[in-house]
Amino acid sequence: MCVCFCAMIQALFADDDFLIIDKPAGLAVQPGEGVRVCVLDAVERDFGFRPYLVHRLDKETSGCLVVARSSRAAAELSALMGGRGAVKTYRAVVFGVPDPAAGAFRDDVRVKGESVSAETRYRTVESDGRLSLVEAELGTGRTHQIRQHFAQAGLPIVGDDRHGDFKRNKALAKELGAKRLMLYAARLYLPLKPPVDVRSSLPPHFAAFFERWGRGGAE
């Protein structure tokens, strides 16, 4: 899906050391094959500095993303993000209904061909019996961790053609217009002094989906 990234990237927080942006879906974090504009380019264009990456989001995952203004700040923030103090909360729409409604996945996930330990805590926000809006909090930060854990639990994320259910994704795209990965980084809490607690905006594709689904308003 082609997306224009001419609009200015929204800042959720900024100080002398780092910036938290609201990354739009479809914008790659770093350069790569077929990538015309990435987060590094967009931040430099809009905020006047070449950022250092602190963590990453998948190209199709929108929401809270931290970038640093220096290598020192990047190292300090990376350590903070990898510790127990930072809280990274995501929201997703999945096929099925979690049972129990809240809990934790602790099955290993695959990262670069190897099986590694991972923890994802979750709660069900609302459900219609076929689809559910869920909230997930990372206990670890493995690649595609949330996507793998929900798929392993028989609750694939809508729009996830890599770890999810391609056939059901295709059908739901026709029925409710769910043509993107239904996952976004909704909230980020950093235990600094003072603490930083930000929330991303509701992605446009989520808003459009919720309107068609007739749900998505619960907190």
Q: Where are the alpha helices (DSSP H) in 14-165?
A: 39-47, 71-82, 145-152
Element (H, E) at 204: helix 204-213
Strand locations in the chain (E): 10-14, 18-23, 52-53, 62-68, 87-95, 102-105, 109-111, 114-116, 120-127, 131-138, 183-190, 196-199
Question: Please, which contacts does 8-16 make with residues 24 or more away whose CB atoms are closer than 8 Å?
Answer: 8/46, 9/39, 9/42, 9/43, 9/46, 9/47, 10/201, 11/47, 12/64, 12/198, 12/199, 12/200, 13/196, 13/198, 14/47, 16/69
CA end-to-end distance (rounded Å), the chain = 30
Exactly one of 22, 41, 58, 165 is catalytic; which is it? 58
Does the annotation count 58 as an active-site position? yes
Active site residues: 58
